[in-house]
Amino acid sequence: MSIGMLGKKIGMTQIFNKKGYAIPVTLLQIGPCTITKIQEEQKYTKIQIGYEYIRPDKLSKPMKGHFKKEKIPCFKYIKEYKTSKWKDLSIGQIINVAQLNTNDYINISGISTGKGFSGYQKRHHFSRGPMSHGSKNHREPGSIGAGTTPGRVFPGKKMAGRMGNNKVSIKNTSILDINTIHNTIIIKGSVPGKKGNIIYIHQQ
């Protein structure tokens, strides 16, 4: 069964394996999530999940009507994913970390930490100019294109600008431990975003 769930990033730490090597890990609080909608298509089925309860007066009328129609509680966050393995799912069903397997891999998506307006060196890892006396090109961009022809800067040129705050996906991350009591999992490596960020995990 294909499973998708929402959760929050708790933080990072490290654990030691039997050989004494330190392994960087991230602690995530996943779910519990509720299936709020199942829409069948020709080639796949759309599964909508809800996470974190919220008062109805905090939502818009269309969202309140959607939850009222399905006779389920209101949720602050909703997410939709596609799957072809959904026969064991139903509207109103609660899914949690108990459905995950430590032997399999998961994909994690989240919003990376915003760094604000950044220059060339920080944003694209460009090398700096000479630092000797008289040089006026220490951390400046330098030439960004030809002159008369083409007479413009091509779109997509790597330049200074906003860094971070983008959707980042990490594929095939291994699950090291699952705690069904506190709905937490420990995964190997890092996860995009800072503490408290909403993240989405998906397991085939």
Chain segment 49-98, per-residue pLDDT in tens: 999 999 999 999 999 999 999 899 999 999 999 888 777 788 999 999 98
Kindly write down the DSSP assignment for every residue of 43-97, as one continuous string: S-EEEEEEEEE--GGGS-HHHHHHHHHHT---EEEEEEEEES--TT--TT-EE-G
Q: The pTM is what?
A: 0.83
Which helix (DSSP H) or strand (DSSP E) does residue 173 occupy?
strand 167-179
CATH number where 62 lies:
2.40.30
Q: Are residues 57 and 24 in the same domain?
A: yes
Q: Are residues 54 and 124 in the same domain?
A: no
- Specify the DSSP class assigned to residue 179: E
Q: Which are the contacts of 89, defined by CB distance < 8 A and separation ≥ 6? A: 1, 35, 38, 47, 95
Q: Are residues 49 and 123 in the same domain?
A: no
Domain that holds residue 106: 3-118+169-203
Q: How confident is the model at residue 101 (pLDDT cuts 50, 70, 90)?
A: confident
Looking at the 3D structure of the chain, how many domains does it have? 2
Q: Are residues 106 and 153 in the same domain?
A: no
